[in-house]
Structure 1
Amino acid sequence: MNAGLERNEAVVRKRSGSTKASRQKSVFLFIAIAPSLLGYLLFTLYPNLLSVYYSLLDWDGLTESKFVGFDNFVHMVGDRFVWRALYHNLLFMLVVPALIVLISLILAYLLNNKSYRENPFYKVLYFFTNVLSTVVIALLWAFIYDGSYGLLNGILGIFGADMNGFYWLGDSRTAFWALVVPMVWGGVGLYVVIFINAMSAIPKSLYEAAVLEGARPMTMLFRITIPLIRSVIRVCVVFVVLGTIKGFELILILTNGGPEGSTDVIGLYMFNLAFGKDYHNYGYASAIGMFLFVILVAAKFIIDKYYPEENVEF
């Protein structure tokens, strides 16, 4: 009987110790995630929920607000500037991510599979653009595109093309495509590094077998490398697409949506409505922000549907 009591006491002590350890673990986890959770609630979730409320107001951000319900959304449907900006967003979304991912894949493949002595230098060189701030990149390309002393016109002049002071960012025919180049140039470096790390995990024996079968470098890239790092490419595509849709800093500095609105995008239009010099409508800008959020969610669902996540083992 005493033995039975001792066993029961041992079980109780074991359970008590387990409960105490579990409680300590929960407290530790709460303390560990509390700063990040608080930051997310305070600086991400709360402002977003507040924007939903602001979208129902007629408010300039300073004076007394007026509740207008869904009038801002009704007005947005008939606002041609919103749809023009959305068209530019979609065009950027189709062109920029495709170029960034394709160029990054090719460069990463060359650096990972070719034993160039200068490989470490090339890696630093490609990643250097991500060290630069958006303002620096914008000023650099503003100089390149300048009509009077720009580098691009100077190079074209060497080959006999007299541009006659043509300003690439000041013409509605060229401004949009002139913005694509710095967007791609500034985004390639990060993804080159990501793809190099992913490719370095692929067994070299697969490439050696392909070489013995007579496969060419581009064949190995599209038949071996890309299928095996498909999940990494998918994540990069999501980041690039969503970043292209919501980003507008480079456009703000280089063209501010001009000339004649030929480079305006949703994020920039929203920013100018809320904080522009001549017009302040924080409520309407918040409604456009909600529209931008819907676009981002829709883009994510489209990517998930047509580019599903796959786990590859090798």
Structure 2
Amino acid sequence: MNAGLNGQGTKARYRGLQKVSRQRYIFLFVALAPSLLGYLLFTLYPNVLSIYYSLLDWDGLTDAKFVGIDNFVHMFQDKFVWRALYHNLLLIVVVPVLIVLISLVLAYLLNNKTYRENSLYKVVYFFTNVLSTVVIALLWAFIYDGSFGLLNGILGIFGLDMNSFYWLGSSSTALWALVVPMVWGGVGLYVVIFINAISAIPKSLYEAAELEGARPMTMLFRITIPLLRSVIRVCVVFIVLGTIKGFELMLVMTNGGPEGSTDVIGLYMYNLAFGKDYHNYGYASAIGMLLFVILVAAKYIIDKYYPEEKVEF
């Protein structure tokens, strides 16, 4: 009798567990379905379609012509592709280093110095991240203007007459002039990230170093940076991938000029697909595939030479 009751109780518990399990899976499906559908529809499907487009000669209006790998063969022979990639390489070497270094120094000072205006400084630094890329581009285009620009006016105060030199109009200065707004617009977010990360480091480590006579910059490079390696790594990944993909600043400020000196791979691809004088979605899609490979390769290189490390303190 007792055995029968125990068996029925076990079956009831089993059915109850099955019901709870089904309810959990239904809840997960309902919760994840919108995001999954959005990913499939707006990310995965366009990327798969781009692979197909890269095998076509198509302007988006007339009938598409299948050309196989001709677009890829032409791409590797296209000198403008290699010029754009060279500019991307320069930017991913310079921009991440400047953004991370400046953000770390500012975050360290704000976190370890008791300035009364600390809260105001945090808002000011983050303000640049609130601005859209177009606003930043227009602002700095005005600063670099040869006739009415703020930069030439400031240099004139110090006795440096630039003779209405337009910084974005010279192929020798245009690309480096774009580095400044890229760094200026990116520092704010990472200052906030590093402030939060530094605040988690025990104060006792800094107090012990201070008793040993360590200077603030010594503590930054000997204590703060080593303990923030994992956070810095994530920031570097985001900055590098964003620098490779980004082209909005160049599009608004120079559109790749003068003489292609500020052209990057994303902008070249955009102009091929949507430019005023040339429409070739097939060739642009092939360059998009190259951009995808570069992004994956960049992530692989970062993972290999800057591996993730867990730091406990």
TM-score category (smaller protein):
over 0.9
Q: Which amino acid aligns with 1:244?
A: T
Residues 140-179 of structure 1 mapped to structure 2, 5 A cutoff: 140-179=139-178
Between the aligned partners of 1:228 and 1:162, the Cα distance in structure 2 is: 46
| Counterpart for residue 132 of structure 1 | 131
Aligned to 1:30: 29
User: Counterpart of 1:51?
Assistant: 50
Match of residue 289 from structure 1: 288
Letter in 1 for 2:143: I
* Matching residue of 1:311: 310
Specify the SS of the correspondent of 2:62.
coil
* Matched residue, 2:94: 95
Structure 2 residue 62 is matched with structure 1 residue 63: yes
Aligned partners of 2:32 and 2:221: how far apart in 1? 41
Q: Deviations over 1:2-28 (max 9, x none)?
A: 100111111111111111101100110
The answer on 1:238 being equivalent to 2:237 is: yes
Residue 229 of structure 1: CA displacement? Answer: 1.4
- Residues 32-56 of structure 1: CA distance to partner in whole angstroms, max 9, x if unpaired? 1111111111100000000000000
After superposing the two structures, state which structure 1 stretch, 226-235 or 166-175, moved more.
226-235
2:148 maps to a residue whose letter is Y
Aligned to 1:11: 10
| Matched letter for residue 71 of structure 2 | N
Query: Is 128-137 or 221-230 further displaced after alignment?
Result: 221-230
Q: Alpha-carbon deviation of 1:159?
A: 1.0
Looking at structure 1, the residues matched to 228 and 9 of structure 2 have their Cα atoms a distance apart, in angstroms, of 52
Counterparts of 2:115 and 2:192 in 1: how far apart (Å)?
Answer: 16
Q: Distance in 1 between matches of 2:196 and 2:284?
A: 41
The structural deviation recorded for 1:181 is 0.3
In structure 2, C-alpha distance between the alignment counterparts of 1:30 and 1:209, rounded to whole Å: 52
Give the Cα–Cα distance (whole angstroms) in 2 for the partners of residues 114 and 254 of structure 1: 37
Shift of 1:129: 0.3
Separation of aligned partners in 1, 2:14 and 2:49 = 46
CA RMSD, 1 decimal: 0.6
Inter-partner Cα distance in structure 2 for 1:271 and 1:12: 63
Once the two structures are superposed, residues 247-288 of structure 1 have per-residue CA deviations (whole angstroms, 9 ceiling, x without a partner) of 000000000000000010000000000000000111000000
Shift of 1:30: 0.8
Q: Does 1:80 align with 2:82?
A: no
Q: Which amino acid aligns with 1:30?
A: F
Return structure 1 stretches of 4+ with deviation > 3 angstroms. none
In structure 2, runs of 5+ residues without a counterpart are none
Q: What is the identity, as a one-letter code, of the residue corresponding to 2:221?
A: F
Moved more, 6-15 or 271-280: 6-15
Q: Deviations over 1:74-125 (max 9, x none)?
A: 0001000000000000000000011000000000000000010000000000
Q: CA deviation at 1:231?
A: 0.7
Q: Give the aligned residue type for 2:178.
A: L
1:192 partnered with 2:191: yes
The separation in 2 between residues aligned to 1:162 and 1:150, in whole angstroms, is 13
Task: Describe the superposition over 1:139-164 as per-residue Cα deviations: whole angstroms up to 9, x where unpaired.
Answer: 10010000010000001111111111
Where 1:192 maps in the other structure, the secondary structure is helix
Instruction: Measure, in 1, the Cα distance between the counterparts of 2:169 and 2:237.
Output: 32
Shift of 1:313: 1.0
